[in-house]
């Protein structure tokens, strides 16, 4: 699983070579070149080609926004299928993480993997109307 890139690492008033951009984000040079092929604008007037920091940041922000998957009220996110799914049989467990926040867990009807969604404690009545909800006790550390 790849880790998420923080686009704010790119300084908007600085320009980067392909190698510098790869080093900045901990990616390989071919990865940055693939970003260029997919639409990252570069300055071609000189060699080495430069990437403006503002355009690099904008490209990465846009790419990450397009990969987000909003969930409908009756859906959890399947970690195996990598897409929103309604849990099998509508059965969901609420697993508290802290006093105010927890995670809804269910089984994926497609791959039988774990589906989850983060929720606050005050959202539980709303989810109890949609799912057959079981609340687990909070484990103290």
Half-sphere exposure at residue 28, Cβ-oriented, CA atoms within 13 angstroms: 4
Burial class (CB in 10 A: 0-12, 13-18, 19+), 25: buried
Higher pLDDT, 50 or 132: 50
Angle between the N-to-C axes of helices 29-37 and 18-25, in degrees from 0 to 180, rounded to the nearest 10: 110
What is the C-alpha separation between 98 and 121, in angstroms, rounded?
9
Classify residue 4 by its DSSP letter: P
Averaged over 108-118, what is the pLDDT?
Answer: 90
Q: In order of start, what are the domains of the chain with their CATH numbers?
A: 7-66 (1.10.10.10), 76-135 (no CATH)
Most confident of 17-21, 43-47, 82-86: 17-21
Cα gap 25→84, rounded to integer Å? 28
pTM for the model: 0.57
């Amino acid at each position: 699983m790849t880790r998420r890139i923080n686009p704010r690492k790119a300084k908007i008033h600085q320009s980067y070579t392909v190698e510098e951009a790869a080093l900045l984000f901990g990616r390989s040079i071919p990865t940055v070149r693939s970003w260029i092929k997919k639409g990252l604008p570069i300055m071609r007037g000189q060699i080495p080609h430069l990437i403006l920091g503002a355009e690099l940041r904008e490209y990465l922000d846009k790419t990450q926004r397009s990969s987000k998957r909003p969930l409908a009220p009756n859906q959890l996110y399947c970690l195996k299928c990598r897409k929103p799914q309604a849990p099998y049989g509508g059965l969901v467990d609420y697993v508290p993480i802290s006093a105010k926040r927890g995670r809804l867990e269910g089984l994926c009807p497609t791959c039988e993997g774990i589906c989850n969604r983060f929720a606050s404690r005050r959202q539980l009545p709303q989810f109890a109307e949609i799912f057959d909800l079981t609340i687990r006790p909070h484990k103290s550390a």
